[in-house]
Amino acid sequence: MAHQVLASPSMKVRVMPPMLRGFLWAGIAFLLTNSLVASIRPDVGHPFVNEVSITIGWVAALTGWLLGVGAYEGVVLPLFGVTPRIGQATDWRRYFAFATDHKVVGIQYLASSAAAFILAGSIAMAMRIELASPTIYFFHYSDQYLAAVGVHGTIMMFAVATVALVGGMGNYMVPLMIGAKNTVFPRLSGLGHWLIPAGVLTVAMSPLLGYWTTGWRGYEPLGSQDPSGIIFYYLGVAAMALSSTIVSLNMVTTIVFNRAPGLTWPRLPMYVWGVLTVSILNLIWLPEIQMTFILELLDRLVPLNLFNAAGQPLAELELFWLFGHPEVYIIVVPGFALWNEIIPVMAQKSLFGRSWAVIGLIFVMMLSGMVWAHHMFTNMRNSEILPFAFFTEMISIPTGFGYMAAIGTLWQSRYRLTTPGLLVLMSMFNFLLGGISGVYLADPPVNLQVHDTMFIVAHFHYTIIGGMIFTWIAATYYWLPKISGRLYSEFWGKFLSIWIFIAFNTAFSTMFLVGLEGMNRWVPAYPPYLHPLNLVISLAAWALGTGFVLHAVHIVWAWRKGPPAPDNPWNGRTLEWLTSSPPPPNNFAEVPIIDESFYVYGDAVKPAARNWDRLKPS
């Protein structure tokens, strides 16, 4: 199993594959620590595993995992001033170990997010198998179904929606787009990625400890009464949230300090603005939710009385949604930015109202912290509801700025309906429906009427799948020639995009209807009159899942076997298109010097970088 890694020009050292070593060290650390703690504090009936021992054992396992995948040589030894004997792999193996190149880290995040998407998506397929019939037949107990809902939601939110466009595309593209060689904290960034697989596996394994029923929200006092599986929910989320915090810290610092000369704030690419604003949101709200979940964990383990009837259950709901609603914008803000990144390129037309599009991103970021209580209208007095209803409706205005810039750019343009161009338009349509249903939900009478029905589920899937997942796929096709140096098939790209668009809208527009017909969330069984609509949703959902898998197959095929791509297939003006595909280790042959905007098109326009002809390595 061992492979050779270059340590110095004159020596090769045989080492165990890092991921295998990570698993081994994690297993040993868990067994030793769990056994030690369990022997100190044996619980009746569970002499080997108890809630305290498994928590401390998990911390040890996570440490062993991180050290094993390469943090030992990459972080710990340098911290103590020791030069490691082995360096980083330079071939394909570098994607399976601790890495410091932002492009490798970006691909690692993208691969982990895609794997998490397929895993959590498979769970959604199982949920739709269950809901294809009015009675329970696929899951054995209702708690099993609820645990499946929780695992699906948690992995989708913390390992896919929060990660793919920031940790994945952000890590890969932002340094290229600002003309930087690397990020400011490459070691921290390399470490951060490996928290995602650890967090996903933790949450995926949580049902082994008991079927928890709170969904991705961890509501109290329900959580403290749940089986022990919820412990792995808290711990898994802690790992994944820490990963996104690290990404955001690295991105903000890199954007502030590593911009090329002449790349002033008004010239900053739209996508970089999106990553910057969403990173600020992450830095504020992820530490908040981590502390909340640590308190919930302690509430259960010690036990304390913070969030039960002797404490304040409502405080947990408030603390959760203080993070929970900004989280929605953490997910879609990079999507908004990408629309206005891709549309001017596909239209070959100057971006309309660029400043307003940036102002929109910033105001969405600021307002997102003032709308959280609209998730709790059923727990509030009327006088408290109205300000939150007002701000929730207000947030549609800066969101509209992004639409205004996109539509103004499309207006009278000769838009190239390529696969990414098509997917961006689809995403805008989907998010429009999700957003408008959100404005509708901001009205208290409607909100109270449809609270906890499938109408809500349809609404947020329209915003998240419609706004973020479609844009993620668009961005993958848009930058695939840059990342892989190869082109995809336009036929299959468009065919599969139309496939998922039809399947998605069939599934979730029907879900609006089934919600209005009175179907609750969080139930594996329902009255027979809801069966026909649910069957339609299930069939469309399976078609959607198949469409996503086929997109993944097509992208992997193009990555490996697609025809070679030119360096700048879309005639884009941002800096990443001025270097080779894929980019070399330090990105550019020399530091770019920026003179012009990236979003101005026309016959007399010069390249944005003064030294554009010297940026590509010879």
Partner 1 sequence: MPPETSALDTQRHGAALRWGFRLFLGIQLIPFIVLFTLRYELDGYYVAPTVNQWLGVAENILMLASLVTVWQGLTAIRENDRETMQRRLKWTSALGALYLALLIYDWSQRVVPVGTRFGGMFYTTIGVSAFYTAAGLFVLVATVVRTGRVVTDAQNHWDVEAAAWYWVFQGAIAVLMNLYLHWI
User: In angstroms, how far is the first alpha carbon of the chain from the final one?
Assistant: 37
Q: How far apart are CA 268 and CA 463, in angstroms?
A: 26
Using CB under 8 A as the binding criterion, the count of chain residues that bind partner 1 stands at 36
Say whether residue 298 binds partner 1 (CB under 8 A): yes
Say whether residue 589 binds partner 1 (CB under 8 A): no
Say whether residue 384 binds partner 1 (CB under 8 A): no
Give the shortest CB-370-to-partner 1 separation in angstroms: 17
Say whether residue 252 binds partner 1 (CB under 8 A): yes
Q: How far apart are CA 201 and CA 240, in angstroms?
A: 11
Degrees to nearest 5, angle at CA 82 with 79 and 87: 95
> Applying CB under 8 A, which of residues 117, 139, 158, 185 lies at the interface with partner 1?
185
Strand pairing category for 3-8 and 11-15: antiparallel
Give the shortest CB-532-to-partner 1 separation in angstroms: 47
DSSP conformation letters of 384-445: HHHHHHHHHHHTHHHHHHHHHHHHHHHTT------HHHHHHHHHHHHHHHHHHHHHHHHSHH
The 121-160 site mask, x for binding partner 1 (CB under 8 A), equals ----------------------------------------
Q: Which two tokens stand for residue 61?
A: 């396992």
Say whether residue 585 binds partner 1 (CB under 8 A): no
- In the complex with partner 1, the residue whose CB is nearer, 319 or 338, is 319
The 278-297 site mask, x for binding partner 1 (CB under 8 A), equals -----xx--xx-xxx-xx--
The amino acid present at 333, given as its one-letter code, is V
Cβ contacts of 317 within 8 Å, gap of 6 or more: 219, 220, 376, 379
Give the shortest CB-417-to-partner 1 separation in angstroms: 41
Q: How far apart are CA 478 and CA 486, in angstroms?
A: 11
- In the complex with partner 1, the residue whose CB is nearer, 78 or 566, is 78
What is the three-state SS of 577-610?
HHCCCCCCCCCCCCCCCECCCCCCCCCCCCCCEC
Say whether residue 498 binds partner 1 (CB under 8 A): no
> Applying CB under 8 A, which of residues 239, 306, 456, 536 lies at the interface with partner 1?
306
Give the shortest CB-288-to-partner 1 separation in angstroms: 5
> Applying CB under 8 A, which of residues 2, 205, 208, 256 lies at the interface with partner 1?
256
- In the complex with partner 1, the residue whose CB is nearer, 315 or 552, is 315
Say whether residue 319 binds partner 1 (CB under 8 A): yes
Say whether residue 245 binds partner 1 (CB under 8 A): yes
Say whether residue 82 binds partner 1 (CB under 8 A): yes
Degrees to nearest 5, angle at CA 589 with 583 and 592: 95
Distances (CA, A) of 463 to 78, 278, 328, 334, 537: 44, 16, 8, 13, 17
Q: Which two tokens stand for residue 194?
A: 């490996």
> Which positions touch partner 1 (CB under 8 A)?
79-82, 184-185, 245, 249-250, 252-254, 256-258, 283-284, 287-288, 290-292, 294-295, 298-299, 302-306, 310-312, 315, 319
